[in-house]
Amino acid sequence: MAIATDNPLGNYLKDRRARLDPAAFGFSSQRRRTPGLRREEVAQRANVSATWYTWLEQGRGGAPSADALERIAQALVLGDVEREHLFLLAQGRPPEIRRHDAEGVTPILQRVLDALALSPALVRTATWDVLAWNRAAEKVLGDYASVPPEQRNILRRIFLDPRARAANLDWESVARGIVAVFRADVVRSGACAGERATSLVAELSGASPEFAAMWRDNKDVRSFGEGTKRLRHPLAGQIAFEYSAFAVDGRPDLGMIVYNPATPADIEKVKTLLAAA
């Protein structure tokens, strides 16, 4: 089947509105030559001009604003992936990340973490709040279950927990790196992380002069990506890990970090910790 490419945005909009039931939105379903909503009905729901919306489907005029696209996405009842596709077609870039109020992760994603038996793994938000982890992470990185949910934050641990400072062999380098990633994540997430990020920066700036100085003076940004992490564990001694960061598909506000033991000796140390009561 050939795919039309002359007007991908218009074709996508037509396809989306053709899938909607007019009766579900209070419109009459009588005397319609084609299925779905009419252009003027989409325009009405999106609070835009019917003429302008027609031009948009026809590929006429300039790129629509983000606000107009948001209203069209709502009018067409688009999910997160469909909304992202709409923005990519119309503006060549993804939309601002939506806030997800639901806490935690899906049972399937938790099972993915649990399947990484010898690799500490966790899921974090754009503001570095930890939402989920596996048993290896509990034994190697710390027991997040023992901390109130509102305090399960990696930056808070790095700057305010003496145990985290002692565990990181090159604490200052680690701290500066995380601040740089945090800065980039907050900007990328926009309003999704805004209020939470503001309160977290204020809290850490007041409690940690080192964080305040790094946040004020160092404007570096970076991605977490992949690399090597060396920890000093109170029971197992030094352990080296190779880490990789992954996006969670369908949840652009979340990221997963997996730490793989770097050597056979490091694997044995993790096994020993897991075997302990």
Which among 104, 98, 106 is positioned nearest to 253, based on CA atoms?
98
Q: Closest by alpha carbon to 72, among 145, 13, 30?
A: 13
What pLDDT is stored for residue 168 in this prediction? 93
Q: No. of H helices and E strands in the chain?
A: 13, 5
Domains and CATH numbers, the chain: 8-91 (1.10.260.40), 107-275 (3.30.450.180)
- pLDDT tens figures, 185-194: 887 776 556 7
Give the model's pLDDT for residue 81: 82
Indicate the range of 29-33, 109-113, 159-163, 167-171 predicted with least confidence. 29-33
pLDDT above 90 for 102: no
Is pTM beyond 0.85 here? Answer: no
Q: Six-digit token pair at 9?
A: 């945005």
Q: Is the pLDDT of residue 277 over 70?
A: no
Residue 1's pLDDT band (cuts 50, 70, 90): very low
Q: Which residues of 193-220 are buried (b: 16+ CB within 10 A; e: fewer)?
A: beebbeebbebbbeebebbbebbeeeee
How far apart, in Å, are the Cα atoms of 219 and each of 196, 213, 215?
A: 20, 11, 7
- List, for residues 211-263, the tens digit of each pLDDT value: 999 998 877 888 888 999 999 999 999 999 999 999 888 787 889 999 999 99
Tell me how far apart the alpha carbons of residues 218 and 212 are, in angstroms, rounded to a whole number. Answer: 10
